[in-house]
Amino acid sequence: MPYSIKRSAIVFGIALASTSVSPLVAQVKQAQNPVIFADVPDMAIIRVGNTYYMSSTTMHMSPGVPIMKSTDLVNWHLVSYASDTLGGLDELTLRNGKSTYGRGSWASSLRFHQGMYYVSTFAQTTGKTYVYSTKNIEKGPWKAVSFKPSYHDHSLFFDDDGRVYLVYGAGKLRLIELTADASGVKPGATEQVLIENASAPAGPNLGLPAEGSQLFKIKGKYYLFNITWPKGGMRTVVVHRADKLTGPYEGRVALQDLGVAQSGLIDTPDGRWFSYLFRDYGAVGRIPYLVPVTWTDGWPVLGVNGKVPQTLYLPASKGLIPGLVASDEFSRRKGEPALPLVWQWNHNPENSLWSLTDRPGYLRLKTGRVDTTFLLARNTLTQRTVGPTCAGTTALDISHLKDGDFAGLALLQKRYGLIGVDYRNGAKSIVMVSAESEKPVELQRLPLTQSTVYFKAECDFTERKDVATFYYSLDGKAWQAIGAPLKMAYTLPHFMGYRFGLFNYATKAAGGYADFDYFRIADTTTGTK
């Protein structure tokens, strides 16, 4: 996972001793790991003055490459997306039975250089590398350029001499020079091998070769961070160091604890250092951790006695609501965006088929074609789930469904769960569907005779319990469980934690629509209360 820091722009006021830097702080130890209990993988973080910015991976979601902001490394909120869409391929738009689940936009690199913010990413779906740039990371506009090939897990790097590079690859890491504005490969540039086997410090038996490159230049030395995974072991942080960009590099294991890995470095205004990493945590996804960093003989030393601490000398979290997830009543004042940044579409949307103005105060999802499965349906609107527990509720007016339509509330992953209204042969029914077996199975069907119905999905990620329960209500007050609990599982074909989703698709004829009155998210569960 890529990332780099230009010392003149980001790193200043650093007291970096040749032996170690003690984390002397006046703050009370109160932040907890994980600092974000939600799917925010492949983080890249920069500091500009007293403000931190972070980018992450959202793969098949649209818009993509989210940008988050913090002043304390713990409390983050969404401020932008670098990418509206990677293109119009069938895979990106769920056309002709194709999808880009688990692919799309992967690990991003975030940089600040000479007053300009740069975010780069890559996509196997299109075979391209993308570079987005702006002078205002929160408001844009973003300039987008793309070029071939797709440089895997690259780190965008601006060196002090004005030259620009990408470090990329897995196992064998390579270097390629870009043009000065990072808009493409420099004419005549050829790739060179930077490190023949970056996995070597972790041992000979590897399941995952070293990837996720993040390159830094600190006090004249180059530091390259990678993630690797020894067979029978856990995700591991490996760091290499060199006096010149082109090497030679010497490497060592930097952290091997809890499987917390794929890291970068960030400093605070008062001279402290942290490494930001993520941990695979079952169905909720890959969740961010911070570990303190000290310096010994010019090497970053991660953790406390080699371990990931549970508490940190940073401010406490105020929760992920409403910074990363949020409730939405679907009512908009003049000048407000149609959709808050917490929302992302499953793949590129068809914008003519959704509205918040056709019926003010409601999200209307219209059908424009016939679909065979939920996973291939257009315009499912999603938000992250959060841990350790969370609940999402919605109210749905199904007066204008057409025969064959299915609309409701989902928990999206390959092994998804749904609760919704199925209009079939002139009758409407509340239905719970489970794809726990990776094939959709209808677990319960109840007759529905009214036009408004309420749905709730609750998730329990405590200690990787990974169980979801679905509920319905006819009045929004008394709730009844339906179907059976869903055993959620993080699958690699989707490569993403479970997300709440509002959906409506047609199985017989297009032209119907469903009106969602609200979506409300909470970080607690209440069962049938």
390-441, pLDDT tens digit by residue? 999 999 999 999 999 999 999 999 999 999 999 999 999 999 999 999 999 9
In the structure encoding, which two tokens stand for residue 376, read together? 């291939």
Question: Which regions of 319-466 does DSSP assign to beta strands (E)?
Answer: 344-346, 354-355, 363-366, 381-384, 389-397, 405-412, 417-424, 427-434, 441-448, 452-460
In the structure encoding, which two tokens stand for residue 439, read together? 């094939």
Amino acid at 448: L
Distances, alpha carbon 467 to alpha carbons 389, 443, 496, in Å: 10, 16, 16
What CATH number is given to the structural domain containing 92? 2.115.10.20
In the structure encoding, which two tokens stand for residue 458, read together? 């609750």
Predicted confidence at residue 397, as pLDDT, reads: 98
Range of the domain at 140: 31-312
- 344 part of a folded domain: no
For 91, the enclosing helix (H) or strand (E) is helix 90-93
pLDDT at 1 over 70: no
- 329 part of a folded domain: no
Tell me: do 142 and 235 sit in the same domain.
yes
Tell me: do 253 and 301 sit in the same domain.
yes
Q: What is the largest CA-CA distance in the chain?
A: 77
Tell me: do 297 and 357 sit in the same domain.
no
Other CB atoms within a 10 A radius of the CB of residue 232 amount to 7
- 190 part of a folded domain: yes
Predicted confidence at residue 28, as pLDDT, reads: 59
pLDDT digits (tens, 9 = 90+) for 216-274: 999 999 999 999 998 888 999 999 999 999 999 999 999 999 999 998 999 999 999 99
Tell me: do 50 and 152 sit in the same domain.
yes
pLDDT at 304 over 70: yes
pLDDT digits (tens, 9 = 90+) for 182-191: 999 999 999 9
- 421 and 408 Cβ atoms separated by less than 8 Å: yes
- Sheet of 273-280: strand order equals 261-267, 273-280, 286-296, 299-302
Tell me: do 200 and 55 sit in the same domain.
yes
On average, the pLDDT of the chain sits at 93
Number of structural domains in the chain: 2
Tell me: do 287 and 384 sit in the same domain.
no
42 is catalytic: yes
Residues 6 or more apart in contact with residue 75 via CB below 8 angstroms: 315, 317, 318, 323
Predicted confidence at residue 47, as pLDDT, reads: 98
Set 39, 153, 177, 211: catalytic member:
211
What CATH number is given to the structural domain containing 511? 2.60.120.200
Tell me: do 468 and 383 sit in the same domain.
yes
- 107 part of a folded domain: yes
- 215 part of a folded domain: yes
- 317 part of a folded domain: no
Q: Which residue has the tokens 């509002």?
A: 502
Q: Which of 312, 342, 372 is the last residue of a domain?
A: 312
Distances, alpha carbon 249 to alpha carbons 155, 195, 227, 243, 417, in Å: 16, 7, 16, 8, 48
Q: Which of 261, 292, 312 is the last residue of a domain?
A: 312
Reported pTM:
0.93
- 503 part of a folded domain: yes
Set 42, 257, 436, 460: catalytic member:
42
Tell me: do 280 and 356 sit in the same domain.
no
pLDDT at 27 over 90: no
Q: Which of 312, 342, 371 is the last residue of a domain?
A: 312
- 144 part of a folded domain: yes
Tell me: do 357 and 301 sit in the same domain.
no
Tell me: do 359 and 300 sit in the same domain.
no
Tell me: do 370 and 257 sit in the same domain.
no
Tell me: do 293 and 355 sit in the same domain.
no
